[in-house]
A = this chain, B = another copy of it.
Amino acid sequence: MASFVYDFADGDRNQKDLLGGKGANLAEMTRIGLPVPPGFTITTEACKSFLSLGKEPDGLADEVASHLSALETAMGRRLGDPADPLLVSVRSGAKFSMPGMMDTVLNVGLNDESVVGLADQSSDERFAVDSYRRLLGMFGSTVLSVDDSLFGAELDALKDRRGTANDLDLDVDDLRELVTTYKSLIRNHTGSDFPQDPREQLDLAVRAVFDSWNTGRAVLYRRQERIPQDLGTAVNVQAMVFGNRGMTSGSGVCFTRDPASGAQGVYGDYLQNAQGEDVVAGLRNTVSLADLETIDKPSYDELLAIMEKLENHYLDMCDIEFTIEDAKLWMLQTRVGKRTPGAAFRIAMHMVDESLIDMDEAVRRVTGAQLAQLMFPRFDDDAERTLIATGMNASPGAAVGKIVFDSDTAVALAEKGEDVILVRQETSPDDLRGMVAATGILTSRGGKTSHAAVVARGMGRTCVCGAEALEVDVKSKQLRVRGGDVLREGDVISIDGTTGEVFAGAVAVSDSFVVRHFEGEEVHEDLVSSVARIMEHADATRRMQVRTNADTPEDAARARRFGAQGIGLCRTEHMFLGDRRSLVEDLIVADDEAGQAAALDALLPLQREDFTGILEAMDGLPVTIRLIDPPLHEFLPDFTEVSVAVALEDERGNSDTDHHRMLDAVTRLHEQNPMLGLRGVRLGIVIPGLFKMQARAILEAAADRIAGGGDALPEIMIPLVATVRELDLVKDEIEAVCDEVEDERGVRIPHKVGTMIELPRAAMTAAEIAESAEFFSFGTNDLTQMTWGFSRDDVEAAFFSTYLDAGVFGVSPFESLDTEGVGRLVRHAARTGREARPDLHLGICGEHGGDPASIHFFDEVGLDYVSCSPFRVPVARLEAARATLG
């Protein structure tokens, strides 16, 4: 039978499933001979049994007893011994870090008797009583569910009576009084006394940690972080060591390299006569790790040796917690350390240069998300700034603009060309127009799944939310800063969506070094050279190609500089706007095919010119051009606006105006659900000549370039195909046009005709469609809309934040591909399409093409390329390589 309890000496770092992250690393450190206070781990299996049975599984109590007994022997102390008690900490530790989500109880083993023994042994009565007081508070709130704030209130009241704000000013009698008060609190709120039996304390604490797996906030956290709900937590029971037993004791946190810059050399903080909690709480000023050398050279030397050993062992930068008790160094925790994006790239390349890891591993060590952060515009390092608040870094970027408090003002100022920051307590669907108009969004309430955060990320707007130090008064149009300053509508602020910082005034913004490098500028920065070396290896490694979504020669050229290997999606919609709008209106209001044909003839040369520029920018690379997709009424004025204009004309007695004529056209084309209307290939079939004109423009442009010595590789893509028959109808037309153009121009035009797969029906009938399509490009935006049955425009603002809070999504399916639902359709279509046509070329041109998690999925299902916006191209190159490396 498997054990429920493992001694730290019995496990290793590979057992995170069973021992949790903390327990596995404690075991690993023990295994490699580091000074870890002894203890044992109760496994996640025990937790799962407990949660399903509603009680401790058989055998657990005995196993705990025998491991406890071994611990007592090792420590030479006994739990609850009145003379010299062993104290233990009881800490949760799940496979995935869930910071602050679950429970910890320290000093388990103290009671009315053993507190005396601890005082004697430590020769420090205040320390002993304070430890007891802390146990009562922690145990009372965590294990016995007494409201935490009640203990805090008693402490505050006592300090008030003593006229101090500092716990350290309380003397032993004060603390003894608190012990008495805390005990009464527990008795009054639970009906029972605080348990004096140390083993009972331990069992109850373990049970409390088990139970903490299923608190509402933990469940929610896991939902949002996509951590499975059925993993359970391990529980680490460890002999207590104390950094707060005088000036020869202390606690510290350190890293084997600088987690901010990635610079080589250790980095950390140390605090004498303190416990770990005190270091983190920041009540007293820590000293740098280097100062420990002068304070306690033996411990310092030992620590440095341990850090070197850990880095060589983990082959990565480590994050370490340690305590020195009376000049004896103890390791309390280690793990691979979190780092900034820049540090990630630098550390990876340093480690390659130090021969710790190879280039493949360096690519694995950095992420597309980190690279993306390095590419956001940022506030100049040297620029002056006045921090007024810090909130959640809800949507990255650096935005500077005038404060506005409502959508109308936001829209009005934005129309004048002003940058504005929309400031609200929190946003709702009513604020959507303002959010669209603003360059940044700032709220004083709400977290990373608040409405503001979700919508801003969806729109790519910089957003800081939950900046609680700010008081937003929309009525008086004031933003009050805690401390007293008041900002008003029109005042300029700067917000950093990457850090969550809010600054008064305009902070200078500049392009990131990395973008300047991608643009071809020589940038002499260690960071840039690290990025360049990693990207070079990524390109050599990856299986999938990376293309870009670009509609103009300028975007195409930039994307090519950023490493794009062609265009995966060139939309043709914008080519129908601007000064061509009148031609399009002619097309739409034409009474007959002759009128339509005339309008199309006028559009042809303009379209051809559009394509010539794009084919030139991508010379030698494939260019996938999608024929027109949106419903025609998008090119006409809004139905409601025209209806209002006509009603007003009627009111004035004018019954035959341009407004009336436009209303006729708009009414004819009005749709209840344009997303589900006459668009895409349907338009191409219903309006004879529309797709033909576009195909001719593309093929003439290609022929002209080829005749001029260029290398044009157009791929014509049909949108919104549901059945192979639709594709056949249009493809026949296109091939006929191609034959004509080849004859007219006397050149052969290498080209392909393929289709978007963006309707569930197309995915389900991919085998049939592949008989006719030379390539598929997954349009995952529409495919997501149709598969879920909601349109991004309509529902993202209306209920995505509710859905994220309720855990229906871990992330918006428009941000990261829903692999469980939409992904199954993609997988089915890719597989059955390839079965029908083995050389079928497969790509994806939805916004998911630039999303790291989605890219890994696309690699797994065997797509040939992903296509994304120019700025995401480097991200996709890197993630494609990481996907290849697995």
Residue ID in chain B nearest A642 by CB atoms: B640
Tell me which of B685, B764, B785, B787 contacts A806 (CB under 8 A).
Answer: B685
Q: Is A723 an interface residue (CB 8 A)?
A: yes
Q: Does A677 contact B (CB under 8 A)?
A: yes
What's the minimum C-beta distance from A782 to chain B, rounded to whole angstroms? 7
A676 is an interface residue with CB less than 8 A from chain B: yes
How many Å from the CB of A566 to the closest CB on chain B? 27
Nearest residue (CB) in B for A759 is B789
| CA A677 to CA B787, docked complex, whole Å | 13
Question: Are A787 and B799 in contact (CB-based, < 8 A)?
Answer: no
Interface string of A643-664 (1 = CB under 8 A from B): 1100110010000000000000
Indicate whether A675 reaches chain B with its CB closer than 8 angstroms: yes
The 8 Å CB contact of A786, one of B430, B786, B793, is B786
> What is the CB-to-nearest-CB distance from A803 to chain B, in angstroms, rounded to a whole number?
7
Instruction: For chain A, give the interface size range.
Output: 35 or more
Do A791 and B682 contact each other (CB < 8 Å), given the known contacts A722-B821, A764-B821?
no
Is A639 in contact with chain B by the CB < 8 A criterion?
A: yes
Q: Are B761 and A822 in contact (CB under 8 A)?
A: yes
- Chain A 428-440 against B: per-residue CB contact (8 Å), 1 yes, 0 no? 0110000000000
Contact of A676 among B671, B673, B726, B759 (CB under 8 A): B673
A789 touches B676 (CB 8 A): yes
Q: Does A765 contact B (CB under 8 A)?
A: yes
Q: Within the complex, what minimum Cβ distance (angstroms) separates A278 from chain B?
A: 41
Report A478 CB to chain B, min CB distance, Å. 23
A864 → B minimal CB distance (Å): 24
Binary contact readout A729-763 vs B (1 if CB under 8 angstroms, 0 otherwise): 10000000000000000000000000000111100
Contacts of A677 in B (CB 8 A): 790-791, 794-795, 798
Q: Is A636 an interface residue (CB 8 A)?
A: no
Question: Among residues 674 to 707 in chain A, which have CB atoms less than 8 Å away from a CB atom of chain B?
Answer: 674-678, 682, 685-686
Nearest Cβ distance between residue A644 and chain B, in whole angstroms? 4
A647 to B802, CA, bound (A): 34
Q: A643-B643, A673-B673 are known contacts. Are A760 and B825 too (CB-CB below 8 A)?
A: yes
Chain B, residue nearest A645 (CB): B647
A824 within 8 A of B: yes
Is there contact, CB below 8 Å, between A430 and B723?
no
A676 and B790 contact, CB distance less than 8 A: yes
Main secondary structure of the interface of A (DSSP, over half): helix
Within 8 A of B (CB), among A763-787: 764-765, 768, 782, 785-787
Instruction: Give A334 to B789 CA distance when docked, in angstroms.
Output: 52
Residue contact B765 to A821, C-beta cutoff 8 Å: yes
Chain B contacts for A678, CB-based, 8 A: 794-795, 798-799
Within 8 A of B (CB), among A795-842: 795, 798-799, 802-803, 806-808, 818, 820-822, 824-825
Alpha-carbon distance A674/B729, docked complex (angstroms): 31
* A668, CB-defined interface residue at 8 Å: yes
Chain B hits for A803, CB < 8 A: 682, 685
**What 1/0 mask marks residues of chain A from 68 to 83 whose CB sits below 8 Å from any chain B CB?**
0000000000000000
Which residues of B have CB within 8 Å of A640? 639-640, 643
Please tell me if the beta carbons of B802 and A788 are within 8 angstroms of each other in the complex.
no
- Contact between A806 and B761, CB atoms less than 8 A apart: no
**CB nearest neighbor in B for A631:** B794
CB distance from A587 to the nearest CB of B (A): 16
Pick from B647, B782, B786: contact of A787, CB under 8 Å = B786
- Kindly state whether residue A725 has any CB partner on chain B within 8 Å: yes
Which parts of A244-290 form the interface with B (CB within 8 Å)? none
A166 within 8 A of B: no
Q: Are B673 and A791 in contact (CB under 8 A)?
A: yes
- A720 lies within 8 A of chain B by Cβ: yes
Is A672 close to B, CB under 8 A? yes
Asked whether A676 lies within 8 Å of B794 as measured between CB atoms, the reply is yes
How many whole Å from A34's CB to the nearest CB in chain B?
Answer: 43
CA distance A782 to B760 in the complex (A): 13
CB atoms of B668 and A430 under 8 A apart: yes
Residues of B within 8 A of A765 (CB): 820-821, 824
Please indicate the chain B residues that have their CB under 8 angstroms from the CB of A788 in the complex.
722, 759, 761
For the complex, what is the distance from the CA of A785 to the CA of B807, rounded to whole Å? Answer: 27
For A798, list chain B residues within 8 Å (CB): 677-678, 682, 686
Q: How far is the CA of A666 from the CA of B765 in the complex (A)?
A: 40
Residue of B nearest to A808 (CB): B725
Q: Contacts A673-B674, A798-B686 known; A789 to B643 CB distance under 8 Å?
A: no
Query: Which listed residue (B676, B758, B808) contacts A675, Cβ 8 A?
Result: B676
Could you say which residues of chain B place their CB within 8 Å of the CB of A768? 820
**CB-CB < 8 A to A761: which residues of B?**
787-789, 818, 821-822
B-chain residues with CB within 8 Å of residue A790 when the two chains form the complex: 676-677, 682
Q: A651-B648, A678-B798, A802-B685 are in contact. Are A672 and B791 (CB under 8 A)?
A: yes
Smallest CB gap from A790: residue in B: B676
Are B686 and A802 closer than 8 Å at their CB atoms? yes
* Shortest distance from the beta carbon of A765 to any chain B beta carbon, whole Å: 6
Do residues A789 and B722 form an inter-chain contact, with CB atoms below 8 A? yes
Bound-complex Cα distance A252 to B436 (A): 78
Q: Please give 11 more A-B residue pairs, beta carbons under 8 A apart, in addition to A673-B793, A722-B788.
A: A640-B640, A672-B794, A676-B791, A678-B798, A678-B799, A723-B808, A760-B786, A760-B787, A760-B789, A761-B787, A786-B787
The 5 residue pairs across chains A and B that have the minimum distance between CB atoms: A676-B791, A760-B760, A761-B821, A677-B794, A759-B789
24 contacts between A and B (CB under 8 A): A639-B640, A640-B640, A644-B644, A648-B651, A672-B675, A674-B794, A676-B794, A676-B795, A677-B791, A677-B794, A678-B798, A686-B798, A723-B821, A725-B806, A760-B825, A761-B818, A764-B821, A764-B825, A765-B821, A768-B820, A782-B789, A786-B786, A786-B787, A786-B789
